[in-house]
Amino acid sequence: MNTAEQTLFLLKTRGPKTAQQLAVLLGLTSMGARRQLEAAAQKGLASHEDVADKAGRPSRRWMLTAAGHARFPDRHADLTLNLIEQARAVFGEEGLERLIGAREQAIEAHYSMLLDDVPGLAGRVAVLAGARDAEGYMADSEVRDDGSVLLVENHCPICAAASACQNFCRSELEIFQRVLGAGCKVERAEHMLSGARRCVYLIKPV
């Protein structure tokens, strides 16, 4: 991955950053990071906004544009949307719901196998995040001071399908709850389809 690609990847996975913050992550000088950001902006992949800090002059935060996010594409989006519409036309909403249910069962069985015998909530969420990351969700987990765990997904490789049929997102939330077990509660804290930069699930022990 070259420096230009690393710059876009960090904006995708870490969210808006100043040139100075990116310089540290990239191992560049502030000027070098600024050049990368300005080059991305010239290509329409990044933009910036000036944010007023509590003290001093505003800081310039850089972020991906829609075109920048599109560099991390939805897998087979056109084919997926076509199949969803064909399923609706041929089988109706009930038939589409059955297909989603079958997908849900297969994914749940896979995750359950991976999490079998993994101890502790943090360990189980970490394994689940690893599985999601392998599927293209740019996922990670983060343990918080209160014992809860965040499952963070910086990308959605099925975003087009989820936009066309939000039951895909509903089923994922329910899958996470079942595979992680009755000892926790899973809530969606951030949601791409609601305009957020990423999807975040808050998992609390109960």
Residues with pLDDT less than 70, the chain? 53-56, 73-81, 158-170
- The boundaries of every CATH 1.10.10.10 domain in the chain are 3-69
What is the helix (H) or strand (E) element at residue 114, kind and residue range? helix 77-115
Name residue, tokens 């870490």. 14
Q: Which fold has domain 77-205?
A: Muramoyl-pentapeptide Carboxypeptidase; domain 2 (3.30.1380)
Report pLDDT for 99.
79
Q: 22-34, pLDDT tens digit by residue?
A: 999 899 998 999 9
Every domain of the chain with CATH number 3.30.1380 lies at 77-205
Give residue 112's pLDDT: 95
Class of domain 3-69: mainly alpha
Q: How far apart are CA 63 and CA 16, in angstroms?
A: 5
> What pLDDT does 166 receive?
62
**pLDDT of the residue at 205:** 94
Residues 6+ positions from 108 with CB-CB distance below 8 Å: 175, 178, 179
